[in-house]
Structure 1
Amino acid sequence: MHSCCARKIIVWSLCLIFYLSHSILVCGSSPPKHLCRQDQRDALWEFKSEFPLSGMAADEKTQTWRNNSDCCSWDGITCDPKTGNVAELNLWGSSLNGSLRSSSDFIGDLKYLRVLRLSGCNLFGKLPSSLGNLSDLTVLELDGNGFTGELPVSLGNLKQLTKLLVASSKLSGNFHHALLNLTELTAINLVSNQLEGTLPSNMSSLSKLEYFDIGSNLFSGFVPSSLFMIPSLIHLKLERNHFNSLLEIGNFSSPSKLQTLSLGGNRLSGPIPGFISKLVGLSSLDLSFWDTLRDEVDFSTFLHLKSLTFLDISTLNTRSIVDMSLFSHFESLSLLSLSRNTVKFSSTLHLVSPIGSLALASCNISEFPKFLRTQTSLFNLDISQNQIKGKVPAWLWSLPGLTYVDFSLNSFTGFDGPADVFQRNEISMLDISSNSFQVPFPLLPQSMTFLAASDNQFSGEIPTTICELVSLDVLVLSNNNFSGSIPRCFENFNTKLSILHLRNNSLSGKFPEESVSVALISLDVGRNQLSGELPKSLINCTHLEFLNVEDNMFNDTFPFRLRLLPGLQILVLRSNKFHGSLYSPRSSPSFSKLRIIDISKNLFTGALPLDYFAGWSEMSSGVYTPDNKQKRFIGITFLNYRKSVVLANKGSEREFLGSSFSIYKIIDVSGNRFEGDIPKSICLLKELNVLNMSNNAFIGSIPPSFSNLTNLQSLDLSKNRLSGKIPPELGKLTFLAWMNFSYNNLEGPIPQGTQIQTQDSSSFLQNPGLCGAPLHKICSGEEEGTLNQDKEDEEEDQVLSWIAVAIAYVPGVFCGFIVGHILASYRHDWFKGIFRYFS
């Protein structure tokens, strides 16, 4: 019996094993079932087809998509495993490069989408209102694109949304009240857009909000107190807007969770609010540029904030003195900015907190801060724009983490310690500009990436030890007394150096071809004694935007090859020995991005074709190209590498610095030997601000189409051979504040337009045929007109005299006739009476 049962158990076990094995084989051999729904796959495929991907990187996510495959297996796509609906579209960082059509069908078909991430995809255009149809959406991330227009009001329909992230774009318009309907939101990030207007007063309806960042926009008005009443809020960032009022906050209903409060860079004024002392959980506080109206500041407000790691109270506009001992009891403070306040500290000051970044720029400091000696965590130090004299102490370079140092605009004369004092650490950026440093030039560590040493008293040859800094990205040695030649060893920087400024020294010789870095963005060797030809290797600098070689002895033809540089914006060749024609049929200089060209005071000759300026699109359109290559590191902006050039404007030369370039578009071809007519294509450059063609041999007439240059502010056509009349149309150029037509062959009356008549008479001198105001020469037509007018006046006087005589004569005759009639009547009656009497 037992053996029989055992056999049955064995048989049943074998059957079960066979059945399970068969099931596994059957399941394994069956074709896979596509999880993705057909309509959603078609919608995704249509979305992909809107963006051409030719030339994109091989790892482009949508390049892996195949129309005949399961879309749930595509890169960036996540599906709901139960329903097959596309639940997440994540193409973060893909170079789609296009616009989201405002009626995108794919959005409507992906109505079950819960997560949409399209950050950093080079998208532009308006955000489609159909986004509001994604009722299940919980995350919308569109950061780092170029979207324009307003946030769609339809976003207020996304009741499940928890994250709205559209930072670093070009959005405009207001903060819609419809967004207050999104009560599930935990994060809003709209930083770095162009949003404006005021915030709604009832922000507390976003009761689950934890992160709110609208910094770097154009918001104005008051900061609503309701923001501080959101119990869940942890990070509140409103910096760099136009807010001008902060409502005083009363008692908090519960302890605030706020850890970040950033209000800096606004227009807030008055006393610093006392309620800030109640935010005891703050770790980051930015009140920079708060205008206290020169009132006293109660710095004890900050003593309650024991958890602070970041504090920025720079530029408070207060008469109070910031005593550094205030911060001696903070234990976690790491980043501290007190710049543009008056700061004092004692020689025995000791800070227990591990300060990592300290900004004391423009704080009226006259001695080097000795308390820094114990700050072994210090990596960033800015003590620029003070009155510190003497030598930089050697102990500073023993701080192990020191990386960024700015000593500019002080009175330092040198460095204490041995010549290799810098090489004890890994310092990366050093700015010692605008001091009194002299030789010897310090030996610098190979970790150096940024070196600015302009406006000092260094002399001799540029030390070849600089060439050992193989990681150098920025080198600024302008306004010193360096002599000799440009070191050939600069070839060590050939793939790294992006900024090279050596202007206003005494450098001579040729510019070595091998010393041109292919990574150059800005090259300035102006005001030296360099000779020979421009380096032909400049053609390899495909990122070059700024080239200034003014006031040297370069002897070369026009560098037509530079037209191939796609981003060249500023070209200054003035005061050299460049020669030859400015035109070559094989090399038309169509500089599409050029904003400033100054080739004045050279030896250029020949005529310019009528279409010479066709294709200079940057000057002919209203496109604004900001000069934004300013280096920015760890919150510190290094300003002293900024571009500098001397340009003629409104009859005088002035130096343009840094950002001032961004607002001008200038052509200066003066002081050469050009001849022929003024190219009429110059009238296509509607954005031109300054035009100087003086001191050449141009002939012909002034084109009336100059009236198209509606942004022109300064026009100099003096010292040429121009003839004909001054076009009256120039008087319509409302921005044209200065013009000069002197020393030509112009003739006829000076137009009476408002802009022209505001000019001094010197603007019209030495044109024998010109007449009329503001010159004292009366036009011949005006003399004849005066004689005719006098004759007409005399004749008119005679007529008036005869009219007067007639007026006097007619009443007299009339009166005589009446009197005669009366007398005659009287006499007739008198004779009749006599006759009756005697009869």
Structure 2
Amino acid sequence: MGYVKLVFLMLFSLLCQLAFCSSLSHLCLKDQALALLQFKHITIDAYSTLLSWNKSIDCCSWDGVHCDEMTGQVTELNLADNGLQGKFHSNSSLFKLSNLKRLDLSNNDFSRSYISPKFGEFSSLTHLDLSYSNFTGLIPVEISYLSKLHVLSIQIFSDGLRFGPHNFELLLKNLTQLRELNLRYVDISSAIPLNFSSYLTALWLPSTQLYGVLPERVFHLSNLESLNLLENPQLTVRFPTTKWNSSASLMELYISGVNITGRIPESFGHLTSLLTLTIASCNRLGSIPKPLWNLTNIEELNLGDNHLEGPISDFFRFGKLWSLSLGNNNFDGKLEFLSFNRSLTLLETLDFSSNLLTGPIPSNVSGMQNLQVLYLSSNQLNGTIPSWIFSLPSLEWLDLSDNHFSGNIQEFKSKTLHQVSLKQNQLQGPIPKSFLNQRDLYYILLSHNNLSGEIASTTCNLTKLLVLDLGSNNLEGTIPLCLGEMSGLLVLDLSNNSLSGTINTTFSIGNELVVLKFDGNKLEGKVPQSLINCKSLEVLDLGNNELNDTFPKWLRALPDLMILRLRSNKFFGPIKDSSTYKFARIQMIDLSSNGFSGDLPMSLFENFEAMKINGEKSGTRQYVADMHFVYYTNSYIVTTKGLDLELPRVLTTNIIIDLSKNRFEGHIPSIIGDLIGLRALNLSHNVLEGDIPVSLHQLSVLESLDLSSNKISGEIPQQLVSLTSLEVLNLSHNHLVGCIPKGKQFDTFENSSYQGNDGLRGLPLSKDCGGDKGVPQATTPFGLDQEEEEEEGDSAIISWQAVLMGYGCGLVIGLSIIYIMLSTQYPTWFSRMDVELEHKILKRMKKHKKRISV
């Protein structure tokens, strides 16, 4: 019995010691807990796991915190996606956790803080992730002191982080244990050095401004599994011509948007483990290289944006494919292979857009029930859209635009549609009702077809809709009132249909509309004042309707408005001068073919700030409103260069003023000369008078100037010769006089530019201007017509002939008298008088003879 008690006591003691030791091993050190609680004071959102941190609980059991079981030191801290906000300072209490081995601060918002050099003091760190947390500035050289790092990830969404000179080279030289390196979008601006870790399994350096030649050693890293060098156009990549050391391990290869020299070599045939291959935007030519057919394990293949050609049926030997992207190439042939292929059961993405495919889509296709993305746009496909496409149960993205499809749009079976683009075909019938059953539909693009029927008011139930493009169809009825209440809608294009009635739509406060196009319908009434709630509006096109209203001056409250078109309506009345007019960002204003009257509004021109900038000097090409939308482009009919032209997209440098075909009167304001970005100015068919402002010579990029059919008088300013970009000039049917300037562009304009100005002379008109080199001569006073000028000229010549005859007779008589006087010895004073009279007569004869010759 005593022996049993002894054993029991010994076991009890041992259990107590174990329990005590166990409790000690999980007890968070006080200074560690305090450091974490101090860090918790950084701003966090309502869903952050840091809210559960409580000093009454062992910190080693807090979410995201891991400790060493023996020492109690915090060794791992995972705070990714924790809603952290605010500045990350160098005196942060986090740097007191000196034994950290893993630190993940990714996907937070540190308010464009700098990465502190103190990160380099975590000497035990093996994993560091600072990605997508809004750090900025220079990556400190101290990061390269972390010689034990296995994983370093510093990714960003766009520009903001960069390496100093030689710091990237130093980083790779010192981090000899590195397994994974991910520096997406960091500005490296360096070549890849020859010396770096041989343990690398993943090297991700997309969009990092790398240059030079990629060292071939990268392809011979025996452990390399993933290589991503996307979008480094200054980087030259030369693939090995023999078997790669990494052939057996490489599973992901992303080499798009780089400079690849030569063809894809035979060595690609050894990459038997490859699952993902992206070689897009590399200017590849010819047919698909044979080595690719050996990659039987390939799951994702992207060869888009090249110049590849040939048939595409052979790709379906890849039975494990889930994504195939061959868009923007020159592949040809038909899609018949789809009808007998049975190896596409895993396919989720199929992109054959922008190729040369012809014929109909086969109707008897099966085995593609997992397809989510189907892009066949911009080919030469025809026939009806087969029912199997509408029956795909998981379809999310469908783009069949810019083809020759006909027939009706059937009802969709899928309930997961995100985008449907069928624009620019010959489709008929009503808009499918199945659109209204979609919860996540963002884009509906059905423009440029022959669709009919009305727009259902239940369209407004699509609460996530961003773009509704129904333009250029045969839709009828009225515009649903609720469309203006769709708070997330960015583009509403109902242009060029047969919609009627008034615009009773109420545009709600807080809406996000950027493009609103109702042009080319039969709309009546006034412009709704609720448009002032569209604070993000950049494009407003109400042209070619039957609207009857005064100028909606309250539109000045739209700070971002860039295009305003009210042409071909029944607007009337003056546009009164007011200092309250803003329109600072306007680049195209078209009020033509209305009944506007009164003087041209000075205040409008004064506030056109965007027109006072010559956009050519920026060196970049941008399009109005298109920058917001991947799938929608703006097109407009503008009257420029004497023609009605369709602009499929509007450059921000297409600065146009068209106030033609109204009843504007008064003078042309000289302040227009300050709008130096103008490309086209049309003030024709009004009642304008006065001179052409000399200030127009400041419009250095002006391409079209139309002032025809007004009452403009005076001469054409010689200074306009400096407009070297001017391609079209129309000054016809005015009251201009004088000589037409010569030189540069003015030597290219024809008679039609000046006809109907009887007071004009010089080329290309038949009336000679006289003089040399186009120097203007004395002009006829304004008000005389051509016949009066000719009669006046003839009578002037006859008069001077009579005068000269009289002078001639007088001269003979005078000389005779002088001879008699000299012979009879008349007084010398009389002799002197006759000599002076003779001199005056001869001088006047020469003067008038010269005028006649002119």
Q: CA–CA distance in 2 between the matches of 1:318 and 1:769?
A: 63
Q: CA–CA distance in 1 between the matches of 2:718 and 2:183?
A: 50
Change (3 A) 1:290 1:468: same
Q: CA–CA distance in 1 between the matches of 2:300 and 2:136?
A: 32
Q: CA–CA distance in 2 between the matches of 1:415 and 1:785?
A: 68
Change (3 A) 1:711 1:444: same
Consecutive unaligned residues of structure 2, counting only runs of 5 or more, are 1-29, 52-58, 779-854
Q: 1:501 aligns with which of 493, 498, 515?
A: 493
Provide the residue aligned with 1:179 in structure 2.
168
Provide the residue aligned with 1:475 in structure 2.
468
Change (3 A) 1:376 1:423: closer
Q: SS of the residue aligned with 1:606?
A: strand
Q: CA–CA distance in 1 between the matches of 2:653 and 2:235?
A: 28
Provide the residue aligned with 1:642 in structure 2.
633
Change (3 A) 1:222 1:680: farther
Provide the residue aligned with 1:28 in structure 2.
none
Change (3 A) 1:133 1:519: closer
- 1:528 paired to 2:528: no
- 1:248 paired to 2:245: no
- 1:169 paired to 2:138: no
Provide the residue aligned with 1:600 in structure 2.
592
Q: CA–CA distance in 1 between the matches of 2:701 and 2:453?
A: 46
Change (3 A) 1:486 1:769: same
Provide the residue aligned with 1:558 in structure 2.
551
Change (3 A) 1:255 1:729: same
Q: CA–CA distance in 2 between the matches of 1:528 and 1:296?
A: 49
Q: SS of the residue aligned with 1:458?
A: strand
Q: CA–CA distance in 2 between the matches of 1:182 and 1:170?
A: 20
The alignment yields a C-alpha RMSD, in angstroms, of 5.3
Q: Is this contact kept in 1: 2:319–2:344, CA < 8 A?
A: yes
Change (3 A) 1:430 1:110: same
Provide the residue aligned with 2:8 in structure 1.
none
Is 618-627 or 556-565 further displaced after alignment? 618-627
Q: CA–CA distance in 1 between the matches of 2:193 and 2:307?
A: 32
- Offset at 1:646? 0.6
Q: Is this contact kept in 1: 2:408–2:428, CA < 8 A?
A: no
- 1:274 paired to 2:261: no
Q: CA–CA distance in 2 between the matches of 1:614 and 1:188?
A: 55
Q: SS of the residue aligned with 2:370?
A: coil
Provide the residue aligned with 1:671 in structure 2.
661
Q: SS of the residue aligned with 1:561?
A: helix
Change (3 A) 1:236 1:681: farther
Cα deviation 1:631-664 (Å, max 9, x = unaligned):
77xxxx53xx422111123232211113x43442
- 1:351 paired to 2:336: no
Structure 1 counterpart of 2:659, which letter? V
* Aligned residue pair count: 715
Cα deviation 1:388-427 (Å, max 9, x = unaligned):
44443434444321222222233433359xx7x4256443
Q: SS of the residue aligned with 1:364?
A: strand
Alignment TM-score, normalising by the size of structure 1: 0.70
- 1:228 paired to 2:216: no
Q: CA–CA distance in 2 between the matches of 1:235 and 1:154?
A: 26
- Offset at 1:774? 4.9
Alignment TM-score, normalising by the size of structure 2: 0.69
Q: CA–CA distance in 2 between the matches of 1:483 and 1:35?
A: 70
- 1:330 paired to 2:323: no
Q: CA–CA distance in 2 between the matches of 1:462 and 1:604?
A: 33
- Offset at 1:313? 2.0
Cα deviation 1:34-90 (Å, max 9, x = unaligned):
9679xx99xx99xx9xxxxxxx999899xx9xxxxxxx9xxxx99x99999xx9999
Cα deviation 1:565-622 (Å, max 9, x = unaligned):
2332222111111222233537x33123322222222222222454533343333345
Q: CA–CA distance in 2 between the matches of 1:259 and 1:452?
A: 38
Alignment of structure 1 residues 694-705 onto 2, 5 Å: 694-705=684-695
Q: CA–CA distance in 1 between the matches of 2:534 and 2:519?
A: 18
Q: Is this contact kept in 1: 2:120–2:145, CA < 8 A?
A: yes
Q: Is this contact kept in 2: 1:668–1:691, CA < 8 A?
A: yes
Cα deviation 1:171-216 (Å, max 9, x = unaligned):
69999554121123666666568x798x626355365655555545
Alignment of structure 1 residues 81-96 onto 2, 5 Å: none
Q: Is this contact kept in 2: 1:373–1:396, CA < 8 A?
A: no
Q: SS of the residue aligned with 2:357?
A: coil
- Offset at 1:683? 3.8
Q: 1:652 aligns with which of 634, 639, 643?
A: 643
Q: Is this contact kept in 2: 1:336–1:358, CA < 8 A?
A: yes
Structure 1 counterpart of 2:289, which letter? D
Q: Is this contact kept in 2: 1:357–1:379, CA < 8 A?
A: yes
- Offset at 1:228? 2.8
Alignment of structure 1 residues 136-215 onto 2, 5 Å: 136=121, 141=130, 163=152, 165=154, 167-170=156-159, 177-183=166-172, 184=175, 200=191, 202=193, 205=196, 207=198, 211-213=202-204, 215=206
- 1:485 paired to 2:478: yes
Q: Is this contact kept in 2: 1:714–1:736, CA < 8 A?
A: yes
Q: 1:259 aligns with which of 251, 256, 264?
A: 251
Change (3 A) 1:612 1:410: closer
Q: CA–CA distance in 2 between the matches of 1:298 and 1:565?
A: 55
Q: CA–CA distance in 1 between the matches of 2:717 and 2:674?
A: 17
Structure 2 counterpart of 1:338, which letter? L
Q: CA–CA distance in 2 between the matches of 1:672 and 1:121?
A: 55
Structure 2 counterpart of 1:337, which letter? S
Change (3 A) 1:159 1:95: closer
Q: SS of the residue aligned with 2:393?
A: coil
Q: Is this contact kept in 2: 1:387–1:410, CA < 8 A?
A: yes
Q: Is this contact kept in 1: 2:682–2:706, CA < 8 A?
A: yes
Change (3 A) 1:784 1:673: closer
Alignment of structure 1 residues 433-472 onto 2, 5 Å: 433-445=423-435, 446-447=437-438, 448-463=441-456, 466=459, 469=462, 471-472=464-465
Q: SS of the residue aligned with 2:523?
A: strand
- Offset at 1:349? 1.1
Change (3 A) 1:784 1:765: closer
Structure 1 counterpart of 2:279, which letter? L
Change (3 A) 1:787 1:748: closer
Q: SS of the residue aligned with 2:499?
A: strand
Change (3 A) 1:203 1:434: farther
Provide the residue aligned with 1:833 in structure 2.
none
Change (3 A) 1:218 1:506: farther
Q: SS of the residue aligned with 1:438?
A: strand
Consecutive unaligned residues of structure 1, counting only runs of 5 or more, are 1-30, 49-55, 65-71, 789-839
Q: Is this contact kept in 1: 2:581–2:603, CA < 8 A?
A: no
Q: CA–CA distance in 2 between the matches of 1:657 and 1:478?
A: 13
Q: 1:620 aligns with which of 612, 618, 622?
A: 612
Change (3 A) 1:778 1:298: same
Q: CA–CA distance in 1 between the matches of 2:110 and 2:32?
A: 35
Structure 1 counterpart of 2:219, which letter? F
Q: 1:547 aligns with which of 540, 543, 547?
A: 540
Q: 1:583 aligns with which of 551, 576, 584?
A: 576
Structure 2 counterpart of 1:675, which letter? E
Q: CA–CA distance in 2 between the matches of 1:94 and 1:743?
A: 70
Is 255-264 or 444-453 further displaced after alignment? 255-264
Q: 2:710 aligns with which of 716, 720, 734?
A: 720
Change (3 A) 1:313 1:391: same
Change (3 A) 1:717 1:267: farther
Q: CA–CA distance in 2 between the matches of 1:57 and 1:763?
A: 69
